[in-house]
């Protein structure tokens, strides 16, 4: 919870990736709060008040996943909305001459995105979701000890750079300083 809060404030792309991992952890615990308490929450070394706050956070997410029928796959609507907000900002920046560096950087990865798009199922709803999915799936493969090709590693690094740039602009947009910062 504390990590999520910090990531949401500092780097929205990292926040989304972190929350996708949280969703998978909840699924791995069968969307059962008793399992979540046993395998996740009991490992926290926090004062009782903070521990209660952490437990409430996990409990709320678990309930949201059940209500939204995301027990086996998919993402919470709040995360989908955040990805869509990022995509909206992405589109605005591509069309704004003040963000020419971003546009040039993004145009450089379009061939990688097109290649990846043909290989990805289910089809992501936009390029931002596609890049986030590529980063997350590469992370999962690395956790499993799978070999990642140099081409994939290079593509993921390019996606991460774009998402870092976009996350910085998102933070500025949230602060009301986007157009002050090129």
106 CB-contact burial (10 Å; exposed 0-12 / middle 13-18 / buried 19+): buried
pLDDT for residue 182 is more than 60: no
9 assigned to some structural domain: yes
Residue 106: closest CA among 124, 95, 94, 97: 94
| Residue 30, Cβ density class (10 Å: 0-12 exposed, 13-18 middle, ≥19 buried) | exposed
Instruction: Select from 68, 92, 124 the last residue of a domain.
Output: 68
Both 98 and 122 in one domain: the answer is yes
Is 168 found in the same domain as 88? yes
Phi, psi of 37 (to 5 degrees): -60, -45
The pLDDT assigned to 6 comes to 93
For the chain, the C-alpha Rg in angstroms (whole number) is 18
What is the arithmetic mean of pLDDT over 154-180?
Answer: 92
Tell me which of 21, 48, 68 is where a domain ends: 68
| pLDDT higher than 70, residue 174 | yes
Q: How many domains does the chain have?
A: 2
27 occurs within a structural domain: yes
At a CB cut-off of 8 Å and minimum separation 6, what does 90 contact?
Answer: 106, 126, 127, 128, 166
* Same domain? 83 vs 170: yes
**Does any domain span residue 101?**
yes
More confident residue, 91 or 122: 91
The mean pLDDT of the chain is: 94
Residues 165 and 101 in one domain: yes
Instruction: For residues 37 and 99, state if they share a domain.
Output: no
The confidence band for 181, taking pLDDT boundaries of 50, 70 and 90, is low
Predicted local confidence at residue 102, as pLDDT? 96
CB 4 within 8 A of CB 19: yes
Q: Is there a single domain that holds both residue 123 and residue 151?
A: yes
Q: Which of 68, 89, 115 is the last residue of a domain?
A: 68
121 and 170 share a domain? yes
Same structural domain, 54 and 113: no
Q: Do residues 43 and 26 share a domain?
A: yes
Indicate whether 181 belongs to any domain: no
Q: How many CB atoms lie within 10 A of CB 165?
A: 18
pLDDT in tens, 50-91: 999 999 999 999 999 999 999 999 999 999 999 999 999 999
Q: Is the pLDDT of residue 143 over 60?
A: yes
pTM above 0.85, yes or no: yes
Domain encompassing residue 7: 1-68
Same domain, 19 and 88: no
DSSP assignment string, 10-28: H-HHHHHHHHHHHHHHHHH
């Amino acid at each position: 919870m504390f990590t999520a809060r910090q990531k949401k404030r500092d780097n929205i792309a990292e926040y989304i990736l972190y929350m996708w991992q949280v969703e998978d952890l909840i699924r791995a615990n069968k969307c059962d709060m008793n399992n979540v308490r046993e395998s996740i929450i009991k490992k926290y070394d926090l004062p009782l008040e903070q521990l209660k706050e952490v437990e409430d956070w996990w409990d709320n997410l678990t309930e949201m996943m059940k209500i939204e029928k995301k027990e086996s796959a998919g993402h919470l609507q709040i995360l989908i909305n955040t990805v869509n907000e990022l995509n909206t900002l992405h589109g605005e920046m591509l069309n704004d001459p003040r963000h020419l560096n971003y546009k040039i950087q993004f145009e450089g990865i379009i061939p990688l995105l097109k290649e990846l798009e043909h290989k990805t199922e289910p089809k992501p709803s936009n390029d931002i979701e596609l890049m986030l999915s590529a980063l997350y799936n590469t992370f999962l493969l690395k956790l499993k000890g799978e070999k990642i090709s140099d081409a994939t590693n290079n593509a993921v690094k390019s996606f991460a750079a774009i998402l870092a740039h976009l996350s910085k602009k998102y933070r500025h947009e949230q602060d009301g300083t986007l157009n002050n910062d090129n």
